[in-house]
Amino acid sequence: MLVIPVIDIKDGKCVRTVQDLNQNTEFYSESPIIMAKLFRKENFKCIHITDLDGALFGDMKNFDIIREITESVDIPVQLGGGIRDIETARKVIKELGVYRIVIGTAALNDPGFIKAAIDEFSNSKVVIGIDEKLNNVVVDGWINYADITPLDFAKKMESIGVKRIIYQDVTRVGNLSGPHIERLLEIANNTDLKITSAGGISNYLDLKKVMSIEHLSIDSVMISRALYENQFPCQRIWRDLESQDTSLELPDVK
Q: Which of 131, 140, 169, 206 is catalytic?
A: 131
Predicted confidence (pLDDT) per residue in 131-186, tens digit: 999 999 998 777 889 999 999 999 999 999 999 999 999 888 767 778 999 999 99
Does the annotation count 131 as an active-site position? yes
Least confident range of 22-31, 125-134, 169-178: 22-31
| Domains defined for the chain, CATH in brackets | 2-242 (3.20.20.70)
Question: How many other CB atoms are there within 10 angstroms of residue 93's CB atom?
Answer: 20
CA triple 58-134-173, angle to 5 deg? 60
Q: Which of 8, 51, 53, 206 is catalytic?
A: 8
* Burial state string for 21-43 with b = 16 or more CB within 10 A and e = fewer than 16: beeebeebeebbbebbbbbbeee
Predicted confidence (pLDDT) per residue in 56-107, tens digit: 777 778 999 999 999 999 999 999 988 999 999 999 999 999 999 999 989 9
79 in Cβ contact with 49 (< 8 Å): yes
d(CA 194, CA 21): 26
| Inter-axis angle of helices 181-190 and 204-211, nearest 10 | 20
Phi (first) and psi of residue 9, to 5 degrees = -115, 125
